[in-house]
Structure 1
Amino acid sequence: MKYGLNLLLWTPEVTADHAPLLADVKRWGYDGAELPLFSGDEATGKTLGQLCDDAGLARTAVTVCTPEADPISPEKTVRAAAVDHLKTILDCCAAAGVETLCGPMHSVLGEFSGSGRTEEEWKRAVETLSAVAEHAESVGVTVAVEAVNRFECYFLNAQTDVADFAAAVDKPALGCMYDTFHANIEEKDPAAALRHVAGQLRHVHISENDRSTPGEGQVRWEETFAALKEIGYDGWLVIEAFGLAMPELAEPTKIWRRMFPSEEHLAVNGLAFMKKHAG
Structure 2
Amino acid sequence: MTKIGFNVLAWSAVVSDEIMPIADRLKTIGYDGIECFLGSPDSAAYKRVGEHLRSIDMEATCVFVVGKDESPISDIAAARAKGLDRIKWAIDRAHDMQSKIVCGPFHSAHAVFAHHAPQDQEYSWCAEVLRAAGEYAAQADITLCLEALNRFESYLCNTMGQLSRLVKAVDHPNVKAMFDTHHANIEEKGFTDAIQTIAPYLAHVHISENDRGTPGDGHIDFDEVFSALASINYSGWLTIEAFSRNDPDFANSIGVWREYSKPWDIAEKGFQLIKQMCQKHGLDKQVGVSPSL
After superposition, residues 94-173 of structure 1 pair within 5 angstroms as 94-173=95-174
Q: Which shifted more, 228-237 or 63-72?
A: 63-72
Task: Give 1:214-253 correspondences, 5 Å limit.
Answer: 214-253=215-254
Equivalent residues of 2:15, 2:40 under 8 A apart: no
Shift of 1:51: 2.4
Q: Structure 2 CA distance, aligned partners of 1:2 and 1:60?
A: 11
1:168-183 → structure 2 map (5 Å cutoff): 168-183=169-184
CA distance in 2, matches of 1:168, 1:211: 31
Equivalent pair of 2:124/2:169 in contact (CA under 8 Å): no
In the alignment, which residue of structure 1 is the partner of 2:281?
none
Residue by residue, what CA displacement relative to the aligned partner does 1:202-228 show, whole Å, maximum 9, x if unpaired?
100000000000011011211111000
Structure 1 portions without partners, runs of 5+:
none
- Separation in 1, partners of 2:222, 2:62: 24
Partner of 1:275: 275
Secondary structure of the equivalent of 1:151?
coil
- 1:17-45 CA distances to partner (integer Å, 9 max, x unpaired)? 22211111111110000011124475443
Residue 191 of structure 2: aligned partner: 190
Judge conservation of contact 1:144–1:203 (CA < 8 Å) in 2: yes
Which SS does the other structure have where 1:234 is aligned?
A: coil
* TM-score, scaled to structure 1: 0.96
CA distance in 1, matches of 2:22, 2:172: 35
- Contact kept? 1:207, 1:214, Cα under 8 Å: yes
**1:43–1:92 CA contact under 8 A, matched in 2:** no
Determine if the alignment matches structure 1 residue 264 to structure 2 residue 269: no
Please give the alpha-carbon distance, in whole angstroms, between the structure 1 residues aligned to 2:142 and 2:16.
Answer: 21
- Equivalent residues, number: 278
CA distance in 1, matches of 2:173, 2:76: 27
Q: Which runs of 5+ in 2 are unaligned?
A: 279-283, 285-293
> Following TM superposition, by how much is the alpha carbon of 1:115 offset from its aligned partner in structure 2, in angstroms?
2.0
Does the CA-based 8 Å contact 1:191-1:224 persist in structure 2?
A: yes
Structure-to-structure mapping, 1:71-110, within 5 angstroms: 71-110=72-111
Question: Residue type matched to 2:25 in 1?
Answer: D
Amino acid at match of 2:191: P
Corresponding residue for residue 63 of structure 2: 62
* Secondary structure, counterpart of 2:205 in structure 1: strand
Superposed counterparts of 1:41-56, under 5 Å? 43-56=44-57
* Residue 202 (structure 2) aligns with: 201
CA-CA distance at 1:52 after TM superposition: 1.4
Shift of 1:89: 1.1
TM-score computed with the length of structure 2 as normaliser: 0.92
* Distance in 2 of aligned mates of 1:55 and 1:244: 28
Mean Cα deviation higher: 169-178 or 67-76: 67-76
Instruction: Please report how far the alpha carbon of residue 161 of structure 1 lies from its aligned counterpart in structure 2 after TM superposition.
Output: 1.2
Residue identity opposite 2:207 in structure 1: I
CA distance in 1, matches of 2:142, 2:44: 17
Q: Aligned-pair distance for 1:67?
A: 1.5
Partner of 1:17: 18
- Counterparts in 2 of 1:40 and 1:48: CA distance versus 1, 3 Å: farther
> Is this contact kept in 2: 1:149–1:185, CA < 8 A?
yes
Contact 2:15 2:46 in 1 (8 A): no
Residues 135-171 of structure 1: CA deviation (Å, up to 9, x unaligned)? 1111110110000000111111112211221111010
Measured against aligned partners, the alpha-carbon deviations of 1:240-278 in whole angstroms (never above 9, x if no partner) come to 000121211233332222222x21111000011011102
Specify whether residues 42 and 247 from structure 1 end up closer, same or farther in structure 2 by C-alpha distance, changes over 3 A only.
closer
The CA distance in 1 between the partners of 2:117 and 2:253, in whole Å, is: 21
* 1-structure distance, mates of 2:256, 2:16: 24
SS in 2 for 1:89: helix
8 A contact 1:83–1:132 mirrored in 2: yes
Q: What is the SS of the residue equivalent to 1:160?
A: helix
Contact 1:242-1:253 within 8 A present in 2 as well = no
